[in-house]
Amino acid sequence: MGEKFADVEGNAEVLKGKNVEILLKFQRHGLREGLNLTPEGREITRDLAEKSNWRVTDDSESSARAFDAAKAIGSPQGAPKATPENPRPMSRALETAHITAETVAGERAGEWKSRPEKRLNYENIKTPKPYNHEKIYNGALAAAIRKLGRGDLEQKDLTKEEKIQVTEEAQAVVIQHISSLDTPEAQVFKKENAGMFADLVEHYMDMTHYLNNDSKVLYVAGTHGGTMEWLLQEALVHTDAQGNKIVGFKSPDEIGGGFNSSDAYNVDIMNDENGDLKDLRVTFDNPERPQEEMHLDVEKIHELATFYRTLHEQPVQEGKQ
């Protein structure tokens, strides 16, 4: 419910928690070579943000989807070591989110600090991987490069279009492999991944009660493929081929496959004029993915977040057991 809070000086009432919107964008990091984004990865990420027509603006006449702020969080995995010249180096996932948020912020870029978030990092998962990621991905990448039929090339020798093609093919192989695994260990692995993201969704659900009325904030959450898909597999409410509403899916193919470089899905966390939560609407950036009305099952979000916190020996929030 909406509440009244004193302002920072304690001498006025500020209305908070009503008609608030937090758009949480889970975005896979851009094209990379080694641990870092490539120039093409940065360029593609920036172009996608430009084309979204999302902007931080208070211009009521603007045709853009308007936000009051655009902030970036991201997995710290693979962040370069700090140097005097670059005391706060960004990981590829955080840099991807940073580029998107800064592009949306426009003239107000730099007003909000981009920060690492461990709940977007696959290294935060306690359950052992039920597969060898490097072996499967690198093998699929090498096979995709060979399919080009241009001799013994390395990824760095490819054109921008070829780099996109081969990395997408390799990632698709990885996602399909994980999805096909149905051992108890694989089920726990995917559920923990889903719970990690659900815990973050719950965090921003709670945050809506503390933002000023009518606030609209974009959080770009940079993360990794093979991690971001499983929340949807566990909790996405959508329509099946027979027209029935169902929760989750068997294969990522049902939502257009795994997420390619810089691709994203959005969770719209909104409350109404009474401060009550609306449906957690889900949309995809890629127009070739399903565009029907979809949302996350709130009870499933609480279940997954509780599973994650229990596994990580964190306190379960009251009322969310």
pLDDT in tens, 174-197: 999 999 999 999 999 999 999 999
Q: Tell me which of 55-64, 131-140, 210-219 is least confident.
A: 55-64
Domain span at 149: 131-180
Task: Note the pLDDT of residue 61.
Answer: 78
What residues form DSSP beta bridges with 13?
6
**Residues near 129 by beta carbon (within 8 Å), at least 6 away in sequence:** 189
The band of 315, judged by pLDDT with boundaries at 50, 70 and 90, is low
Winning range, highest mean pLDDT, from 92-106, 122-136, 153-167: 92-106
Task: Note the pLDDT of residue 169.
Answer: 92
Task: Note the pLDDT of residue 85.
Answer: 63
Residues 193 and 306 in one domain: yes
Backbone region of residue 214 per phi and psi (left: phi > 0; alpha: psi in -120 to 50; beta: other values): left
Task: Note the pLDDT of residue 40.
Answer: 92
Residues 206 and 97 in one domain: yes
* Sign of torsion over alpha carbons 235, 312, 268, 291: negative
Residues 54 and 153 in one domain: no
Residues 228 and 304 in one domain: yes
Backbone region of residue 176 per phi and psi (left: phi > 0; alpha: psi in -120 to 50; beta: other values): alpha
Residues 118 and 137 in one domain: no
Contacts 24+ apart (CB under 8 A), 133-138: 133/174, 133/226, 136/173, 136/174, 136/177, 137/170, 137/171, 137/173, 137/174, 138/170
Residue range 283-305: mean pLDDT, rounded: 97
34, part of any domain: yes
* Sign of torsion over alpha carbons 217, 233, 206, 192: negative
Residue range 293-321: mean pLDDT, rounded: 84
The band of 14, judged by pLDDT with boundaries at 50, 70 and 90, is low
Residues 36 and 21 in one domain: yes
Task: Note the pLDDT of residue 161.
Answer: 87
Query: Percentage of residues in the chain with pLDDT exceeding 90?
Result: 75
Task: Note the pLDDT of residue 1.
Answer: 46
Residue range 123-142: mean pLDDT, rounded: 93
pLDDT of 316 above 70: no
pLDDT of 2 above 80: no
Amino acid letter, residue 92: R
Residues 103 and 196 in one domain: yes
The band of 286, judged by pLDDT with boundaries at 50, 70 and 90, is very high
293, part of any domain: yes
As a whole number of angstroms, the distance between CA 90 and CA 95 comes to 6
pLDDT of 288 above 50: yes
**Tokens of residue 245, six digits:** 């509403």
Residues 233 and 110 in one domain: yes
153, part of any domain: yes
253, part of any domain: yes
Residues 278 and 189 in one domain: yes
As a whole number of angstroms, the distance between CA 133 and CA 50 comes to 33
The band of 62, judged by pLDDT with boundaries at 50, 70 and 90, is confident
Task: Note the pLDDT of residue 149.
Answer: 83
pLDDT of 11 above 80: no
The band of 120, judged by pLDDT with boundaries at 50, 70 and 90, is very high
Helices (H), 55-154: 92-105, 133-147
pLDDT of 282 above 90: yes
* Mean predicted lDDT score pLDDT of the chain: 91
- Structurally, the chain folds into a number of domains equal to 2
318, part of any domain: no
CATH of the domain at 233: 3.40.50.1240
Closest CA to 254 of 187, 159, 312, 175: 175
Task: Note the pLDDT of residue 5.
Answer: 47
54, part of any domain: yes
Residues 167 and 191 in one domain: no
pLDDT of 243 above 70: yes
241, part of any domain: yes
Task: Note the pLDDT of residue 302.
Answer: 98
Phi, psi of 63, deg, nearest 5: -85, -5
319, part of any domain: no
The tens digit of pLDDT for each residue in 82-94 reads 777 667 789 999 9
Prediction pTM value: 0.89
Task: Note the pLDDT of residue 104.
Answer: 98
**Structure-model confidence comparison of residues 58 and 204, the more confident one:** 204
Residues 144 and 230 in one domain: no
Residues 135 and 270 in one domain: no
